Each structure stands twice: as structure tokens, then as C-alpha cells.
Structure 1
């Protein structure tokens, strides 16, 4: 791969995101590299005589070394997006961000019209729902057209290490873009995703509901309703208050007021190069420093 630039990197999450192109193909590509978390099951395969230790220094009882385990325990999780669109590149590019307090009026006048013309292609989502791709990755499926969903590992997870467990539940019903579309008529759907999703994860991965973080994003990364399931211990991207909404809280809010998400002010974060940011800037809602 020929590297064009580093889009972003995080020492906290041990990730780096690179833009480039592959030999013989000029279409841009995004490669995301992530160091895997340690698994207690593999410790005995790392802390043994087959690993190589390179000494940094020793001072009294303290010693610093660099450890080189066997190749199979030193892998890097790699995600490739190819061909990558300009929207993909902007999504992963590090840049200044701003918090928008979106009122129902701002949603109707700015956000919603924007979504009608600018959003990620959903072909890959429909391929999953129609069993055209990723069938072997499905963990659970409820085929009911109204309240059903498909549960499968998120691309950020290797599907193995429970420490950073991350699955996503994609609802079968089309036309529900985000939190803003949810009303009382969707309560059965949301409760079904919560109940059956948690049960499926406990059955397969032995992680009970009390150790799961189940939530929705606003704004979501793609506009077909989906729910995130992560290990509560995992510091997953997008779990902070300006982005995530616990599914139990979403259900409770709708039970209290069926039109809650049509009336509420919802916060979300925008990058300065996002086209939606430019539209909010034109209206004087946000401004660059």
C-alpha cells in the first residue's frame, strides 16, 4: 500500500487510521490498524520461554523490557475500506469538533433536509439483511419484518476477545433513520432488540446483561436504525454523553412521552469539514474559532 497520509491516531485506543492506495488501483483506501487487548487465556502463551525479552534497563528490583511473543500472539486487527469515499475519509480524519444542541426546529430546518441528500450508501446494510453477505458472521437473527433484527460483530471487534466485545443489532424494518424517528409504535421493536440481543450474547459469550452497555448513537454513522452492544469494561468509541443514548433510557423516555424524540433537544458532535457543519455555520448556530 502507498500511504498518502495519516488521518488520525490514538495512543489511548492504540489505533492509527491511514489513507492511501493499493498498487495498480488509484481509488483511495482507508486502513485502520488496532493493537488487540490482552486476553487472560493467552497469557501462558506469552509469558514463556518462546517469547523474546529485550532489556531496556534494570534499577534495583525494577526492570523494563520489550517483549516479542510468538507471531500468532502479536497480530494487529486491520480494517480496510476500499474504495473509500470522501465521506469515509472525513469520518476518520482528525479535525476540530463542535457540539450542536439540536432543537426539533433545527432538525426540521437543517438536519433533516441534509439527510435527504447527504448520507452513506446503505447497500452494505441491505446486503446483510437480505443474506447477500456476512451470513457466516450472524450471531442471532429474528426474522420478524416489524420487530426483528440481525445481531453480528461490529467491524471494530475481532469476534474473539471478550474484553472488547462489540456487536451491533441492525433492525429489519427500513425507513427508521435515527432516534428522531422513534415513537411509541416502536416500543415493541426496541424491547425485542434489548431482550433477545442480550440473551443471545449471554448464551454465546457468557456475558450477562448487567455487564453490557446497550445504546444508540446520535448522530449515527449510518441512517438505518441499529443498536450497539459492548462490554461494559470496554472504552468503545462514541460512548460519551454527547453521542450515546442507553437503550433502556430511550425506551423509558418513549414510555413517558411517545413523541419524546420529536420534542427533545438532542446534542451531537460535528467535525468542521462535515457538510452538515457548514449548514449549521451558515445559520449562525456554530462558528469556527
Structure 2
């Protein structure tokens, strides 16, 4: 086979917006000299977007952008679609997030770094990690409060439950393309401001956790026909990227960052641990997780400075 000029498309077999892959079924003409004229065979075409060039002159792709389309902003976060050639409004080449102004904390977070498995005991959490969390300025998660207060991203909110104890909102995660159901990715953000992370959860928070679980299992199949209740995965990150309690909601097939062992904790397991094992399970447990060495918590837990 020397070309794809005779490829005839039949159907899409699979696609993954996160891995940037597309698998197509089609047919190709047989080139064997003994084959009948016009005879074809089925062919599977696996397509993957190539990685960005890493050479300094080529890695700055911004000089190749022909058109930019803003898709929203919230505090220091801005989202854009971009086309490398003009006239691609409906099919952009790039999806971009811009953090501006960016702090040194952001630079460290998004820089390439080694990840290590470390163990955080309850004592280390109380003595070192919790004081660090309590020192984080509210301004760092102002974008969360903008959403909760209805000041930003109102057009993205899919559901709002306003109860002061069990209330939360649901909106698409910025990493989801809002089209491909197999990569569905939503966030449920608690209205409460007194739960910073998994470590804070106690018996009194079970109504919130169960309300999120039950309402999401009803909401997703209603809002996204084709996604069944048993295809919905809900989990919590530890450590989270921001210290305001939220739950990640994805299609079970979605290969999303942070859904692996060492960072994610299934919502059902969290509920069981508090309800059936120990009301203060997450206050007492030693938690082993993967963390980038640039993260300030890495040094607090290990005593190492990178």
C-alpha cells in the first residue's frame, strides 16, 4: 500500500479528545495483481495528532496563529480557541487556556517536574500541611467564588442546588470539549466554604456527599442522553489543585488526568469509609499519594527541598 487515495470512509470506530486520537473504519482497494478489479478490503485507520515541536524556535506556536476566538474568562483564567489558518471558526486547531497574570506558584505548578509517591500521616498533616493550607490567600481561588456567586461562567452552570449545607453547582470542566460523551468531564463545586479537602470530611458532611452522588446520578443521564448511570464516575483528588471541596465527574471510559490511583478517591468509597469504618477516617488515616516535587506540600511531607 503506497497511499490512502483510495480510502473510502465507513464509520468512526473510536475517538479520544484527551489522547487526541481518532480511529476510522473504511475500505481500501486491493493492490494484489491477482485481485479482481475494483475489489476492496476493510481497513482501520488510526490517527493521532503529533506532538508540538520542542525546538525553541518552533515551540512558540503563537506566531503561527491566524485567528483567536475567546470562549470565556474568570479572574486570571482565560480560554481561547485558535486557528492556524483563517476561516476555521467551527473547527479550531487549538484550545488554549491563558493564566494572566501568572505567579511563581503557577510557573512551578505547570513546569515539568518529577512525581514521587509519598506518605502523609495524620500528624504530618496537622503539624505541617494544614497550617500551610490555612495560609493560602482567598484570592487564589477567587474564580471559584465568582462561579458560586453567579458573577462568572453563569452560561456554563448545568445545575444549582442552593441548600446552605448540601448545596453545590455543576458545570463542565474546562478540559472537556463539551461534545464527546465518552470523555464527559464535569465538576460539582460545594457551596460550603468550610471544607477544604478530603481531610476535612466527617459524619456531618455525609448528607452533602450523598446529595452530590444521588443528584449527579440522576442529572447526567437526563442532561446527556447516551450516558447511563453506571457509566458515571465520581472522585475527589488529594491533594486537590485548589482547596475548596469539589467532586470530579467523568464518563467511566474517559482517560482524564488525575483519575489514577495515587490521586483520586472514589466518592462512594469516601462515603463508606466515613459511614461504616470511622467517622473521622480521613482525619486519622495515613494517605499515600503521588505529588510533583515542585509542589510545596512535597517538602512539608518529606522534609526535602528540590
Q: Per the shorter chain, which TM-score range?
A: 0.7 to 0.9
Partner-residue secondary structure (3-state), 2:274: helix
**Contact conserved, 2:22 with 2:46, CA < 8 A, in 1?**
no
**Contact conserved, 2:115 with 2:293, CA < 8 A, in 1?**
yes
**2:180 equivalent to 1:149:** no
Name which of 162, 175, 187 aligns with 2:181.
162
Q: 1:274 to 1:59 in 2, by over 3 A?
A: farther
Report the equivalent of 1:139. Answer: 158
Name which of 125, 141, 154 aligns with 1:122.
141
1:130-279 matches, within 5 Å, as 130-206=149-225, 207-256=227-276, 257-279=278-300
Q: 1:287 to 1:192 in 2, by over 3 A?
A: same
**Contact conserved, 1:216 with 1:246, CA < 8 A, in 2?**
yes
> How far has the Cα of 1:218 moved from its partner?
0.2
Long gaps (5+) in structure 2:
1-15, 33-40, 50-86
| CA distance in 2 between partners of 1:65 and 1:246 (Å) | 32
State the number of aligned residues.
Answer: 239
| CA distance in 1 between partners of 2:164 and 2:143 (Å) | 18
Q: 1:163 to 1:261 in 2, by over 3 A?
A: same
**Contact conserved, 1:271 with 1:277, CA < 8 A, in 2?**
yes
Q: Report which of the two structures shows the higher radius of gyration computed on alpha carbons.
A: 2
The runs of 4+ residues in structure 1 deviating greater than 4 Å are 34-39, 58-68
Long gaps (5+) in structure 1:
1-13, 16-33, 48-57
| CA distance in 2 between partners of 1:187 and 1:259 (Å) | 12
Q: Which moved more, 1:206-215 or 1:224-233?
A: 206-215
Report the equivalent of 1:83. Answer: 101
Q: 1:66 to 1:133 in 2, by over 3 A?
A: closer
Normalized against structure 1, the TM-score is what?
0.73
Partner-residue secondary structure (3-state), 1:121: helix
> How far has the Cα of 1:153 moved from its partner?
0.3
Q: 1:245 to 1:67 in 2, by over 3 A?
A: closer
Q: 1:38 to 1:106 in 2, by over 3 A?
A: same
| CA distance in 2 between partners of 1:226 and 1:202 (Å) | 20
**Contact conserved, 2:172 with 2:187, CA < 8 A, in 1?**
yes
Q: 1:228 to 1:66 in 2, by over 3 A?
A: closer
Q: Which moved more, 1:237-246 or 1:83-92?
A: 83-92
Q: Which moved more, 1:233-242 or 1:270-279?
A: 270-279
Q: 1:218 to 1:169 in 2, by over 3 A?
A: same
Report the equivalent of 1:31. Answer: none
1:219-272 deviation line (CA, Å, top 9, x unaligned): 000000000000110111001111000000000111011111111111222222
